[in-house]
Amino acid sequence: MPVAKPPGRFRKRTELLDFLLEVSEVTLQTLDLDRLLESVSRIVTQVVECEFLAILLYSERRQALRVRYTIGHRAEIVDRLVLGLDEGITGAAATLREPVLVGDVRTDPRYLKAIDAVRTELAVPMLARQKLVGVLDMQSTRLNAYNEQDRSLLQLIASRVAFAIDNARLYRRVERHSRTMGLLALWSREFSSILDLDELLKKIAASVRGLIQFDAFSIYLVEEEAGVLRNRFSIRYDRQVDLDSIPLGKGITGAAAESRSPIRVRDTRQDPRYITSHSGILSEVAIPLIVRDRVLGVMDLESDRVGFFTEAHVQTLSLLAPQIASSVENARLYSELAIRERRMEVDIGAAKELQLLLLPPVAPEVRGLDIGIGLRPAREISGDLYDFVIHSDEQMGLAFGDVSGKGVAAALFGAVVAGLLRSLARRRKNPAGLLKALNDALIQRKVEARYVALLVALWNADSGELEIANGGTLPPLVVRDGSPVELRPAGVPLGLLPDREYEQVTFKTQPGDIIVLFSDGVLDQSNSRGEEYSLERLVSLVAKSPRRRAQKIVNSILADLVKFGEGEPVVDDQTLVVLKVRSVAS
């Protein structure tokens, strides 16, 4: 609602009161600061003529006045003009908290000559709740353009509009705070999703700069053993730079880490703790990054302006700090885990190579036998083992077993077993005696919760006999003329009990017999319906393969396991050795 311009001076007190009431109504109609200042200027120019008008607002952070709205002044002057409380006639009015009227500015040394034609200036402070809000400043090219009545009238107007301007600024701060809180919530989600530490720190710096126009930004991380705050990331005027580490407890960052509290320094030249990292830095704020009651590091912002950082900045950064600390900690742990995984992959690769050296890659050529081998590990490497020892053209030793557990530990224990087995097998052909000797050796080298189920066999080509001793493995599957033949040698796994004797059986083979040695991972394979691969299915598959070579039979079993599993994971190593008996002469 526009304020009507009164006809001349206010003749009656009631006219003045009505006018002031209208001023109050107009200024209370909006919380938009730009619209409010426009309305204030319109009110003022309707009652007091002027060529130049400026509404300056006071910044507690800068301890200065800055033009927020103007009529008549050149933009290039207004944009860069910042007045201290001791500068100019406006500064004097702000300091005195009283209007200052100068009829001829040429005679007043306080006047800041911006426009040559100005002769009269009237500066009126705006006060609300006993604090300075700003200054109404009017200038005219006429000498003594304003009188005491104008001075008093503008003082009354200023007292009314000061509250409205203060409320609008407060509303803007609340609105800005609300937007800031929304940004902090958004950033928290974004930060927590970034696991690359370098990428995360760049994102943090860019996000903080969206709120606070710092000149330098750094993240330091605590290294207790070295006793330093290690500079992990730093930028200076948008350029990434490298900085030295800071001893714990030293500097403003060290003090923030030690006190576990934010530290704001208005003028670094006056603070003996300040350590120069960038030239020209005049103010600094350091925020400790704390996670699970442990100081992880410090976030440090610097500016080349004195008193740039405010309590509002400290509050905003303190709200953001816990999420930054948590995200940095997660990224560090992820990085450490990635390094460990890479090391583990190297170790696993080395173990896999070792296992490939220990496990025969191809079956040996043996008179009277066609041999096939196959392995499908549950992990990168297997805990199963098999080996062949050629004693002569007539005899071959065979070992087939399963080490307890899976993965690298099982493979390493399997390597120990394989080494002992090869050493002992050269001196002992007898399967039962070999198992006993191997059990004794493992008992001497006992490893907690480690044992091996092992079957040892001796093939005699001349007689077609297979001598077998079993230490805890599944009994071999023998298929003769399409039907299973019972062969159940039994015994205790090796490495569990001392002084064990093992039973030995002799099996008379016939040409065409198919003997399948398989680990328990074969029967443990399940499908999506929870059904397990059965011995009956294995028997049926082998029985349908009387003319196939041994390796073809192994391949068909492994393929059938994949088909049966329907994409379900391999939960235990699946190892196969197939012996197909040929005529003794072959």
In whole angstroms, how large is the CA radius of gyration of the chain?
Answer: 45
Q: Which of 155, 171, 177, 141 is nearest to 36 (CA)?
A: 171
pLDDT digits (tens, 9 = 90+) for 410-425: 777 777 888 888 888 8
Superfamily of domain 13-175: GAF domain (3.30.450.40)
Among 30-34, 120-124, 136-140, the minimum mean pLDDT is found in: 30-34
Average pLDDT (289-297) is 91
Q: What is the pLDDT of residue 7?
A: 41
Q: Where does residue 311 rank: exposed (0-12), middle (13-18), buried (19+ CB within 10 A)?
A: exposed
pLDDT digits (tens, 9 = 90+) for 457-475: 999 999 999 999 999 999 9
Q: What is the pLDDT of residue 9?
A: 54
pLDDT digits (tens, 9 = 90+) for 429-458: 899 999 999 999 999 887 776 889 999 999
Is the pLDDT confidence value at 81 over 90? no
Give the right CATH number for 359-581 from 3.40.50.720, 3.30.70.20, 3.30.70.100, 3.60.40.10. Answer: 3.60.40.10
Provide the b/e sequence for 49-86 (b: ≥16 CB within 10 Å). ebbbbbbbbbeeeeebbbbbbbbebeeeebeebebebe
**277 or 314: which leads in pLDDT:** 314
Full DSSP string of 136-164: EEEEESSTT---HHHHHHHHHHHHHHHHH
Is the pLDDT confidence value at 556 over 90? yes
Cα torsion at 556, 562, 566, 567 (round to 10°)? Answer: -160
Distance set, CA 153 to CA 146, 157, 570 (Å) = 11, 6, 91
Is the pLDDT confidence value at 181 over 80? no
Where along the chain do its domains lie?
13-175, 194-336, 359-581
Average pLDDT (47-52) is 84
Q: Do domains 13-175 and 194-336 have the same CATH topology?
A: yes
**435 or 179: which leads in pLDDT:** 435
pLDDT band for position 407 (cuts 50, 70, 90): low
**564 or 490: which leads in pLDDT:** 564
Among 192-196, 421-425, 527-531, 545-549, the minimum mean pLDDT is found in: 192-196
pLDDT band for position 18 (cuts 50, 70, 90): low
Average pLDDT (538-565) is 93
- Could you tell me the pTM of the whole model? 0.48
Q: What is the pLDDT of residue 353?
A: 66
pLDDT digits (tens, 9 = 90+) for 343-394: 766 766 666 666 666 678 888 999 999 999 998 887 766 678 899 999 888 8
Q: Are 15 and 6 in contact (CB under 8 A)?
A: yes
For domain 194-336, the CATH class is alpha beta
